Structure 1
Amino acid sequence: MCKKFLSIFNVLYRTHVTYLKSEQKKLLYELYKKEIPKISEHKAYSDIIKLQKHSHMLHTLNEELDIYKQLLKEIIDSKESYEERLKKNEDINQLNCHIESVTNLIIDDIILFYKSYVNQDHHLDATEIKMEITAGVGGFEAKMFSKELFHMYENFCRVRNYDYEMKEVINDEAKENKNIVLYIRGNNIYEDFYQENGIHRVQRVPINSNKVQTSTSIVFICDEKKQKDNIMKKINFSKQDLLIQTKRSGGAGGQSVNKNETCVKILHKPTNIFVEVQKTSSQIHNKNLAMQLLKDKLYNFYYELEKNNFLKEKKNQKQSADRSHKIRTYNFLHDVIIDHITNTQYSGIQNFFKGHMLIQLINKKKQVFYQNIIDQTLQYIFSLMDSQKGPLDTLSQKNNKIYK
């Protein structure tokens, strides 16, 4: 029953978090003993109470487990037989099963709390990402390395059963890919790829040289749907943001003079963007057309703004590509890969490019990724309770977000 429940849980949530750190358990123990300040009826407080209940359950189960273990120690002399009996004891196995189930419930509570209050701009529910692989420092070698990285992610997608589609390839006179853009689709996909975002470095001897050369490629990950949603929120303006004026439409004069004010001009005050429509003889129709035209203009404005910020960041990372923001180093001379985020080393570059080893590495990173979310959420909850101030939004704005 326990294994079946855990299997269903993993299929539904796919967070790849399987444990709570001892520091996190201590914080949860403190949390369930805390009194919730009755200063707000905000939904966050009912969610904290729910987390408190599950934390209390976990603490009680752990206490029971400690008692069982102690009793078992007292009746068994040999350490070896104690370990064997510990594995075979049905009561202890059942308790461990309950502890695992409640731990998963707590993790689920925390993830949902994070998405609802701590970082509403999260990408945890993303089902599609845009990946751009751009040649950095190193000329032809960098372009060739970009192509190799693309094939590595292509293999990764095949193994993980992700759909992917190459949208754009920009070549130059060197007959190699300078820029590769692809879209990858799958459940909870952003968490698989976001830590690939940065500088990938290759060290090897080029065909036409006898010296080791260091080249770089830059991987950029973007949740385009979230980006578009954020833009749409910005153009969901209020009446206070608009200045609407009407005037008579221009005409040929004489009997053709328009005596009604059918021309509509709308100014969006925050951006100073305006539109003017006198297409029909109906003021209402012209106003509706003007509103739609204004929304289109504002969408293009904010999209270009986001794009320019992205390109600016891209340019800054290109300039520092050989010095910082390193994700991994692929050293062909020694046939090793060094992951700088986890500080781990893998042998066999060609085998790594096949995708299976990359899955192991990414799963390891996701554990750290979700542990950071748990730490951040618990910190937020304690700050919220200790502050005893009303608006949650104020704290949310002050909170440092994991995603950018």
Structure 2
Amino acid sequence: MFEAVEGLLGEHAELEARLALPETHADARTAKTLNQRYAELTAIITTWREWRQAGDDITAARELAAEEPTFAGEVEALTTQREAAEERLRRLLVPRDPTDDKDAILEIKSGEGGEESALFAGDLLRMYTRYAEQRGWSSEILDSTESDLGGFKSVTLAVKARGATDRSGPGHAPYGLLKFEGGVHRVQRVPVTESQGRVHTSAAGVLVLPEAEAIDVQIDENDLRIDVFRSSGPGGQSVNTTDSAVRITHVPTGIVVSCQNEKSQLQNKEQALRILRARLLAVAQEEADAAAGEARRSQVRTVDRSERIRTYNFPENRISDHRTGYKAYNLDQVLNGDLQPVVDACVEADLEARLAAVEAE
């Protein structure tokens, strides 16, 4: 597997030369792509050189240890160092999802269970908002439709890293971690509307999209059909006397996005375009994944989105992830934002699956 690194040295040198040319930076999209690939290769090559150097140092230390036994400890320390570099290199050689370093847009929709499902959608919103706070990210509600009891029939949340330090390393940016939240989340608890104290099961769906920048997705205004209407609140009553809500239809794909949270039509249009760009980027990425073949696709991410991915059992204070087998009895803490251990299990399962696929090739 490591032999492939030697073939990357030429590509790395070529990228370095191209990035030194002023004309490369005249095209922002090209420059961004080249910079991302250069950074990826730099991490691989630096670790590979560290791994090789550690091997040479071990050989030298063994020769010294044969003459002076006190050097035996040095051999052991260098071996540990080389094994750590080897593991890092194995992981770096796994092809990355190019959208992992992007911000994320989450769409949470209530499902089976009526008002109880809408209340659970509100719980999920709070969980992701507090998780974002713990990670040092910012979050913003782009659009929402509330239910009569204060839950959400649907809510769209944007989660953004505050700077480059929030994106350092694979899986540190919002989408690289939150992408594993996509799917059906099932809740088991006694609803507030239940008078007999019986436990009910309901569900809410989460769709996670990488937020696209303008240079990632080009949208032709001629491909858009834009309609305006009045915002509505719980029960469908009008909450605005002007036509400020916006619905955008992307005619070539049939994707429809609507926003009504902002007071002005222009603001709602901008928010809707953010969501539309994210959806178009997701479609393009799915097509690219399909073209790449099954061997390079994550086993965690390709679970049918119609299937439940996780169960939140309130009577037992238990959370169970059905893809990874993760189980813990701290549901109250997880819903309060302590989601990282659950996400880490998904990240590790995803990495192991992709690593196995690469080694099989």
Query: How far 1:199 moved relative to its partner?
Result: 0.6
Query: Retained in 2: the 8 A contact 1:129–1:222?
Result: yes
Query: Retained in 2: the 8 A contact 1:231–1:303?
Result: no
Once residues 46 and 330 of structure 2 are traced to their aligned partners in structure 1, the CA distance between those partners, rounded to angstroms, is: 48
User: Which residue pairs with 1:92 in the alignment?
Assistant: 76
1:181-260 matches, within 5 Å, as 181-186=156-161, 187=166, 188-206=173-191, 207-225=194-212, 229=215, 231-232=217-218
1:348-367 matches, within 5 Å, as 348-356=330-338, 358-367=339-348
Cα 1:198–1:53 change in 2 (3 A) is closer
Is 1:178 aligned with 2:153? yes
Aligned partner (choices 97, 100, 105) of residue 124 of structure 1: 100
Query: How far 1:94 moved relative to its partner?
Result: 3.3
1:308-323 matches, within 5 Å, as none
User: Which residue pairs with 2:318 in the alignment?
Assistant: 336
Aligned partner (choices 146, 151, 162) of residue 126 of structure 2: 151
Query: How far 1:302 moved relative to its partner?
Result: 5.5
Q: Normalization by structure 1: what TM-score?
A: 0.50
Cα 1:161–1:55 change in 2 (3 A) is closer
Query: Retained in 1: the 8 A contact 2:107–2:206?
Result: yes
Once residues 51 and 168 of structure 1 are traced to their aligned partners in structure 2, the CA distance between those partners, rounded to angstroms, is: 41
1:383-402 matches, within 5 Å, as none
Query: Retained in 2: the 8 A contact 1:54–1:106?
Result: no
SS at match of 2:316: coil
Q: Which amino acid aligns with 1:124?
A: D
Per-residue Cα deviation, 1:190-249 (whole angstroms, up to 9, x for no partner):
1110010111101112242332210001111112316x65541x769xxxxxxxxxxxxx
Gap regions ≥5 residues in structure 2: 19-37, 167-172, 226-247, 258-275, 284-304
Per-residue Cα deviation, 1:68-87 (whole angstroms, up to 9, x for no partner):
89x99xx99xxxxxxxx98x
Query: How far 1:368 moved relative to its partner?
Result: 2.7
Is 1:345 aligned with 2:332? no
Query: How far 1:375 moved relative to its partner?
Result: 4.3
Q: Which amino acid aligns with 1:305?
A: G
User: Which residue pairs with 1:137 in the alignment?
Assistant: 112
Cα 1:306–1:123 change in 2 (3 A) is farther
Once residues 138 and 208 of structure 2 are traced to their aligned partners in structure 1, the CA distance between those partners, rounded to angstroms, is: 16
Cα 1:211–1:333 change in 2 (3 A) is same
Query: Retained in 2: the 8 A contact 1:51–1:106?
Result: no
Query: Retained in 1: the 8 A contact 2:51–2:85?
Result: no
Query: How far 1:340 moved relative to its partner?
Result: 1.0
Once residues 53 and 160 of structure 1 are traced to their aligned partners in structure 2, the CA distance between those partners, rounded to angstroms, is: 28
SS at match of 1:342: coil
Identity of aligned residues (%): 20
SS at match of 2:109: strand
Once residues 251 and 121 of structure 2 are traced to their aligned partners in structure 1, the CA distance between those partners, rounded to angstroms, is: 30
SS at match of 2:254: helix
- Which one has the largest radius of gyration? 1
Once residues 359 and 216 of structure 2 are traced to their aligned partners in structure 1, the CA distance between those partners, rounded to angstroms, is: 27
Query: Retained in 1: the 8 A contact 2:317–2:329?
Result: yes
Query: Retained in 1: the 8 A contact 2:58–2:78?
Result: no
Query: Retained in 1: the 8 A contact 2:184–2:203?
Result: yes
Cα 1:124–1:324 change in 2 (3 A) is closer
User: Which residue pairs with 1:368 in the alignment?
Assistant: 349
Query: How far 1:96 moved relative to its partner?
Result: 2.3
Query: How far 1:59 moved relative to its partner?
Result: 7.0
Is 1:305 aligned with 2:254? yes
Q: Which amino acid aligns with 1:147?
A: G
Once residues 61 and 196 of structure 2 are traced to their aligned partners in structure 1, the CA distance between those partners, rounded to angstroms, is: 68
Query: How far 1:97 moved relative to its partner?
Result: 2.5
Cα 1:305–1:96 change in 2 (3 A) is same
Cα 1:362–1:60 change in 2 (3 A) is same
Query: How far 1:327 moved relative to its partner?
Result: 1.8
Once residues 198 and 335 of structure 1 are traced to their aligned partners in structure 2, the CA distance between those partners, rounded to angstroms, is: 21
Asked which structure has the greater RCO (Cα within 8 Å, sep 6+), the reply is: 1
> Runs of 4+ in structure 1 displaced over 6 angstroms?
50-54, 66-69, 308-311
Cα 1:303–1:104 change in 2 (3 A) is farther
Per-residue Cα deviation, 1:149-169 (whole angstroms, up to 9, x for no partner):
111112211111111112222
Per-residue Cα deviation, 1:30-64 (whole angstroms, up to 9, x for no partner):
65799x9xxxx999xx999x979976974785698
Cα 1:144–1:52 change in 2 (3 A) is closer
SS at match of 1:225: coil
Query: Retained in 1: the 8 A contact 2:110–2:203?
Result: yes
